[in-house]
Amino acid sequence: MMYDCHMSHPSDVSRYAKMVYRKAGDNGLKLPVVSLGLWHNFGAEADPLVCRDIVATAFDHGITHFDLADNYGPPPGAAECRFGEILRTTLASHRDELVVSSKAGYQMWPGPYGDWGSRKHIIAGCDQSLKRLGLDYVDIFYHHRPDPNTPLEETMGALASLVRSGKALYVGISNYHAAEAVKAIRILNDMGCPCVLDQVRYSMLDRWTEKDHLFSALGGKTGVICFSPLAQGLLTDTYLSGTIPAGSRAKENGSLKAEQITHSLVVRLNKLDAIAKKRGQSLSQMAVSWLLRNEGVTSVLVGARNPQQLLQILECVETNPSFSAEELNMIDKITEA
Ligand code: NDP
């Protein structure tokens, strides 16, 4: 049965009591500890009712933050169009309750201005995103990835211009390692435009941010929002049997390849699952709780194929159980292997 939610005229604001909100670094902006990303499952071929249901379920459980990028689809741009449609039909009266983000920095149109981090690309990219979303402004606009061939001053200057012109309320960077993030944040600060978030890949299975000392480099001033917290679905029940079920991301063999589901990975996933079970959690819930134990994490940015997946993850928000030192050690040993 489809999720039933009276989005147009909600009388029940108890959704905000179901969620925990953390500040993005030392900025005023607060984000839900679980945010929803629309990288997958919101392309042109996706079922519009399921898409609407996922977003409605998120909103009805206190998720105020929806993360997009110009290239999310397929085809690129489709997820922004779809979310724009949901905003108009379902959430129109709730714009001020939402934090909508988008990004530019990956290939979007032909020619020398369709990619990377030039001022030309960033400003045009944001304008195109606003049209697809049907919005006058986004809440956060990110540079999607560092550009080795454009001066950081130019890229950050373009982000600051978006804020000055009212097209974005805040800006962020994504996939920036500690050293380049610190430089970018300094440039933005000098222009009076704080960088609210660094959006990075971080999960129990992907620990580069720890080796990079990203959290200490940011010093708590810029928030960290973690993408692919479930390692694109690896940290869930889906692959525990060692098979690749129909309708899973690995079956699509796109951003998550079937060949990544190796025997040794499945053994490690089952060991993690045993720890989760002892804690009274599912593997996906433990993966989210593990990230949230770090107060430097502003939000965990999950994806969901359907509302049920999201609801399962959200269960760990209210309880947010802590970890014993022994559990953390065991997780480290398993994930280091
Ligand atoms: P996750 O690691 O949360 O993976 C989401 C996938 O996990 C789902 O599509 C589903 O896979 C599976 N899943 C989720 N919940 C459950 C559950 N309860 N039980 C079983 N399986 C579950 O995140 P994503 O990789 O989707 O990334 C999240 C967001 O992060 C993106 O939408 C985007 O906004 C952002 N992102 C940013 C990037 C950047 O460069 N800045 C790059 C990548 C992502 P299945 O379909 O197999 O069921």
Is there a domain that residue 246 lies in?
Answer: no
**Distance in angstroms (rounded) separating the CA atoms of residues 272 and 157:** 44
Is there a domain that residue 161 lies in?
Answer: yes
Instruction: Give residue 150's domain range.
Output: 15-233+293-316
User: Whose C-alpha lies nearest to ligand 1, atom 26?
Assistant: 303
User: Whose C-alpha lies nearest to ligand 1, atom 34?
Assistant: 37
**Distance in angstroms (rounded) separating the CA atoms of residues 68 and 83:** 9
For 224, list phi and psi in degrees, rounded to 5.
-120, 125
- From the list 220, 237, 219, 242, the residue with the least C-alpha distance to 276 is 237
Distance, CA 163 to ligand 1 centroid (Å)? 29
pLDDT digit string (tens) for the chain, length 337 residues: 344 444 453 557 899 998 999 999 999 999 999 999 999 999 999 999 999 999 999 999 999 999 999 999 999 999 999 999 999 999 999 999 999 999 999 999 999 999 999 999 999 999 999 999 999 999 999 999 999 999 999 999 999 999 999 999 999 999 999 999 999 999 999 999 999 999 999 999 999 999 999 999 999 999 999 999 999 999 999 999 999 999 999 999 999 999 999 999 999 999 999 999 999 999 999 999 999 999 999 999 999 999 999 999 999 887 767 999 999 999 999 998 6
Is there a domain that residue 259 lies in?
Answer: no
CATH number of the domain at 166, please.
Answer: 3.20.20.100
Q: Are strands 223-227 and 195-201 parallel, antiparallel or unpaired?
A: parallel
What is the signed CA dihedral for 40, 130, 66, 139, rounded to 10 degrees?
150
Is there a domain that residue 123 lies in?
Answer: yes
Is there a domain that residue 1 lies in?
Answer: no
Is there a domain that residue 297 lies in?
Answer: yes
For 9, list phi and psi in degrees, rounded to 5.
-130, 65
3-state secondary structure of 6: coil
Indicate whether this model's pTM tops 0.75. Answer: yes
Number of domains in the chain: 1
H-helix or E-strand spanning residue 285: helix 283-292
What is the signed CA dihedral for 113, 115, 118, 122, rounded to 10 degrees?
100
Is there a domain that residue 329 lies in?
Answer: no
Distance, CA 225 to ligand 1 centroid (Å)? 13
Is there a domain that residue 284 lies in?
Answer: no
